[in-house]
Amino acid sequence: MLLLAGTIALAPFSLDVYIPAMPDMAAAFGVKVVQINYTMSIYLVGFGLGQIFGGPISDQIGRRTLGLIGLSIYLLATLGIILSSSLEELLILRGIQAIGGGFTTITVMPMIRDVYPVNEIGRRYSMVFMIMMIAPLFAPVIGVVLLQFNWHWVFLFLLGYAAIIWACFAFVLPETREQIRKLPDLRRIFPQYWQVISHKVDGRRISLRYGLTVALCGCVLMIYLTNASFIIQIYFGLPDHMFPVFFGSVVLGVALCNWVSMRKLNNMSLGKVAAYFRTGVRTQLIATSVLALAVFTEHTQIWLIFPCIVVVVAMLGITQPSGSTLYLAEFKKLSGSATALQTATLFSLGGLIGAISSTMNDDTLSAYAIASLVVSLTANLILLSIPKVALDMPFNTEAETMT
């Protein structure tokens, strides 16, 4: 579980450790900070693309094999970023790095689903997510320390971290998925996705709705990450050494909710998991509504805005493990494809909406607040479309087949 948590932590490290370095990178490449923000959005989109193809491929060739391929791509791209000399090179290599990261981290949740029964996976997901949150808690601190040398050291850190994970995949981690074929068959990817999308519970696509709701709830994190540097360092004008404090408070909120989920989701019935999930989704909507109201009534004091942001993002500690349990309960042989569909939706939508909010930035918090409210409201509308009976009904996990 520690190794899996360390593997999935590659994503927050790749996103968070270089955020304090964005102003320095902008100066080094002779561009505005907003243009460096595009490296965040490109990573999110590339990460989603890596997961779109990686999940189904892991169902075919195995989780460990795909992880090694992804880590190799990540290592080469990171080395290229260190040597890059223009913004264009940086953006291209950042996208390639993201694809390798997507290949790697998409293997984690399917590995857990391979090994543990349905009534335990919620607790295991919470455990991995809680350990994973150590990464974004310390990532900005690491970034600030390494920034005392120059921004290249931030990516040297990522290079070393990925090399350690590669060694663990190569020499420590066992394969959890029976290998169906040695080489991936790309023609099978979309049929596998169609099995996930078309899967029905009592004549309804309940699993798909859960996946979309979980992904939309997670988008608030992607939107925040894209705008964090602007909110903390530019809008509120806080010095660099205060960045880890405020950024870390958001991370601690998520970790606390994950800790609560780890305790509550232990052998909980799926009906109770559904009720717990609804609570998290609705609480997030309340917090985004308060945030938007404060922004548009120009009550943007830091003591009001930042607690709202903490609650909005912290609800991921409730919605992600509980919602993923409800979503993946129906899938085991296709857990890689199912996980990829959910996380690719999250990162692709999050990256796209984050980029739009960054582009529409008018030096206020309006674009950030609107984007967060829209995704949270949409998640709640999809959740309302799931009949209460369907939320509490038992799952038929024996119905799934792998074509």
Cβ-count burial of 72 within 10 angstroms (0-12 exposed, 13-18 middle, 19+ buried)? middle
357: pLDDT strictly greater than 90: no
| Highest-confidence segment of 26-40, 164-178, 253-267, 331-345 | 164-178
Q: How far apart are CA 244 and CA 141, in angstroms?
A: 6
Mean pLDDT of 73-92: 91
Lookup: tokens for 227: 């705008």
Residue 68's pLDDT band (cuts 50, 70, 90): very high
The residue type at 129: F
Cβ-count burial of 374 within 10 angstroms (0-12 exposed, 13-18 middle, 19+ buried)? middle
In this prediction, residue 398 carries a pLDDT of 40
In whole angstroms, what separates CA 231 from the centre of its chain?
Answer: 20
In this prediction, residue 134 carries a pLDDT of 72
- Is 106:339 a contact under the CB 8 Å cutoff? yes
- Is 398:329 a contact under the CB 8 Å cutoff? no
Q: How far apart are CA 14 and CA 182, in angstroms?
A: 30
In this structure, is the dihedral angle defined by the CA atoms of residues 228, 343, 94 and 317, taken in order, positive or negative? positive
Mean pLDDT of 313-326: 90
Pick the more confident residue, 375 or 245: 375
The residue type at 149: F
Residue 290's pLDDT band (cuts 50, 70, 90): very high
123: pLDDT strictly greater than 90: no
- Is 380:285 a contact under the CB 8 Å cutoff? yes
Q: Among residues 210, 184, 252, 217, which one has the least CA distance to residue 372?
A: 217
Q: Among residues 176, 197, 185, which one has the least CA distance to residue 333?
A: 176
Pick the more confident residue, 123 or 256: 256
Q: How far apart are CA 144 and CA 19, in angstroms?
A: 9
Mean pLDDT of 288-307: 90
Residue 136's pLDDT band (cuts 50, 70, 90): low
**Residue for token digits 């808690």?**
137
The residue type at 65: T
355: pLDDT strictly greater than 80: no
Residue 293's pLDDT band (cuts 50, 70, 90): very high
Q: How far apart are CA 169 and CA 343, in angstroms?
A: 22
150: pLDDT strictly greater than 50: yes
User: Hey, what domains does the chain have and what are their CATH numbers?
Assistant: 2-175+190-390 (1.20.1250.20)
Whole-number percent of the chain with pLDDT over 70: 95
How high does pLDDT run on average in the chain?
A: 84
User: How far, CA to CA in Å, does 236 sit from each of 35, 119, 300, 303, 311?
Assistant: 20, 44, 9, 11, 19
Mean pLDDT of 6-23: 83
Mean pLDDT of 46-51: 86
Mean pLDDT of 186-206: 84
